[in-house]
Structure 1
């Protein structure tokens, strides 16, 4: 989704500084942008940054200032995210905190770091990616989702609190919180890479261990599975997450940018996000029951067990 935001912003004539932990991912994003005829003077720079590390974000800020020859920015997209750390009981603390520190810490640290550059612009906009899991802390009745949901709730609350803070203290800056439903992105595959510390397309032993732990946490017995069987299950889940999504990353990026242009502070992405928002508000006490999930899945076309 971040890549599609970059591509669409570039197409509209914006200079971009994109960051990621994946050098290969950044190179592909840049290649896709440069396939198009770029307006004269437009700059695209790419930066390896772990958004859970404040020192790396500060380096990113300094690189932007030098490479773009500017002391200000107009748009800040806090979009980095991974899954993992679903269970406080089954998953290791390090995995839980890695997920939380990227999904929430990245939003906070980037906003804190880049706020002075936004303040210097004539107008600015902060776009924070939360999730439907920012108001519904579940992936279904049989899948714990504590780290990701806790982080996305924090992003939503932070973004809502900024509405008053910015209006009173920096009225030229707006903030939007983005809450996508099921979007066809690479988060399922990229989570394993980040948690294992590998950027390889092949599944390393560390990535297979992460996959085995996640499959076990979802309630499947992996004790008798070979590494090859675990890898096959993991790859099938990654493929289905992409192929069965009701909305593509490109479509989601368009919805987000349209919302930003309209100065909407609350941007739901996907029909499933809109429907889920309605259902949770109607019956919050039942939101984590099996019947609620089955009714939701039937309504929005999710495949139970995906």
Structure 2
């Protein structure tokens, strides 16, 4: 197994991409900490993967620090952090409210900062770490009605590349995954005409699956990626080319 003995925190770990990743990482031998805004969902997912479920709002520094403290107390280390938690609150620039802007930035951008800054001292102590951030193709291409989301995901790319330069010498790699159109419970509710239009934009002519993203996370967490640092890997079926 690729992650035997490793301790991983997956934020947003109880739904969509995070839940799929929780199952995959557990199957590869990792001790999975499912961190999610919805505490009950985190605990339910954790029971399914024989892990630990913690309720945490990543936009709140005190909650993030408490989470990290609990993980260190129980396991003594943190090997891998997947900054997967994120939300959308879409609106055109003209109509976007201050709350829509602030909420998305606080979770998608500031939350990544909080979680990474909290785990880094423990990774430095061990001389090893894998930070995996979830960006989006929107962070490089932009998207109609997503000023806040695109800005947050562009920031994730910038933070990823900056931290890779700062932390590589400490034995810590920092990389990002940039998903494209992924089939989730939310997209499944879209009209078939809309889904077909999305597929036609992708050179592979299909939407991605949560497992496609989880596989990218797994690769970046494994020893096979030990010389990859500061990369932003698009998992979008060729949408961004």
Same fold (TM over 0.5): yes
Q: How many residues align?
A: 211
Q: What root-mean-square deviation, in Å, do the aligned CA atoms of Structure 1 and Structure 2 show?
A: 2.4
Q: For the residues of structure 2 that align with 1:45 and 1:120, how far apart are their CA atoms?
A: 23
Tell me the TM-score normalized by structure 2: 0.79
Q: Which has the larger radius of gyration?
A: 1
- The corresponding residue for 1:101 is 106
Tell me the TM-score normalized by structure 1: 0.63
Shift of 1:81: 0.5
Q: CA, structure 1 residues 133+249, in 2 after alignment: closer, same or farther (shift >3 Å)?
A: same
Q: Is the 8 A contact 1:177 1:267 kept in 2?
A: yes
Q: Does 1:268 align with 2:220?
A: no
Structure 2 gap ranges (5+)? 1-16, 200-205
Q: CA, structure 1 residues 20+147, in 2 after alignment: closer, same or farther (shift >3 Å)?
A: same
**Matches for 1:37-56 after TM superposition, within 5 Å:** 44-56=51-63
- The corresponding residue for 1:226 is none
Q: For the residues of structure 2 that align with 1:113 and 1:134, how far apart are their CA atoms?
A: 24
Q: For the residues of structure 1 that align with 2:66 and 2:220, how far apart are their CA atoms?
A: 30
Q: Is the 8 A contact 1:86 1:96 kept in 2?
A: no
- The corresponding residue for 1:167 is 168
- The corresponding residue for 2:209 is 248
C-alpha distance after superposition, 1:56-96 (max 9, x if no partner): 1011111112233x1x2110110100111433421321122
Q: Is the 8 A contact 1:181 1:270 kept in 2?
A: yes
Q: For the residues of structure 2 that align with 1:23 and 1:84, how far apart are their CA atoms?
A: 22
Q: Is the 8 A contact 1:85 1:96 kept in 2?
A: no
- The corresponding residue for 2:64 is 57
Shift of 1:236: 3.6
**Matches for 1:1-306 after TM superposition, within 5 Å:** 1-34=17-50, 44-68=51-75, 70=76, 72-138=77-143, 143-168=144-169, 170=170, 172-186=171-185, 188=186, 236-237=189-190, 246-261=207-222, 262-263=224-225, 264=228, 265-271=231-237, 274-276=238-240, 278=241
Shift of 1:133: 0.9
Q: For the residues of structure 1 that align with 2:55 and 2:191, how far apart are their CA atoms?
A: 24
Q: For the residues of structure 2 that align with 1:8 and 1:86, how far apart are their CA atoms?
A: 34
Structure 1 gap ranges (5+)? 35-43, 190-234, 279-306
Q: Is the 8 A contact 1:75 1:126 kept in 2?
A: yes
Q: Is the 8 A contact 2:80 2:221 kept in 1?
A: no
Q: For the residues of structure 1 that align with 2:173 and 2:161, how far apart are their CA atoms?
A: 11
Q: For the residues of structure 1 that align with 2:208 and 2:126, how far apart are their CA atoms?
A: 34
C-alpha distance after superposition, 1:162-184 (max 9, x if no partner): 2221234x2x1001111011112
